[in-house]
Amino acid sequence: QVQLVESGGGLVQAGDSLRLSCAASGRTFSNYLMGWFRQAEGKEREFVAAINWNGGRTYYADSVKGRFTISRDNTKNTVYLQMNSLNPDDTAVYYCAALSTGSYWKPNDYAAWGQGTQVTVSS
């Protein structure tokens, strides 16, 4: 099993940028497709972005397309989420997750999760 630890969250103003990081340890990082999800208070966890094992394919939710960029560095066992043009609707706890088999947009298919990092965007 891979262990995941997110970092980089914080309080920002609308229009600002943040970069989230997710460091992996344990099983071979490059075996996994990596995803970012978020969960706002009172709402279900939703898919944000995913990246395949070598970074050759990326996937985004429509709500973040053009503003967020997912990337990974397999030499550092880390996946990133660059978030630009943040708005209050992006406020949520952000989670990274590892998928070995299944559908990238389905949270229940992911095998491992980090503890989450809070992102708060003020207007």
Number of Cβ atoms within 10 Å of the Cβ of 68: 23
- pLDDT value at position 27? 76
List own/partner pairs for 108-117 with CB under 8 A and 24 or more apart: 110/35, 111/1, 111/2, 111/32, 112/1, 112/2, 112/3, 112/4, 113/4, 114/4, 114/5, 114/6, 114/22, 115/5, 115/6, 116/6, 116/39, 117/6, 117/7, 117/8, 117/9, 117/20, 117/93
| Average pLDDT of adjacent 10-residue blocks, the chain of 123 residues | 95 98 90 96 97 96 98 96 98 97 96 97 96
Give residue 49's pLDDT: 98
pLDDT at 96: 98
What local confidence, expressed as pLDDT, does residue 26 receive? Answer: 81
Distance CA 26, CA 47 (A): 24
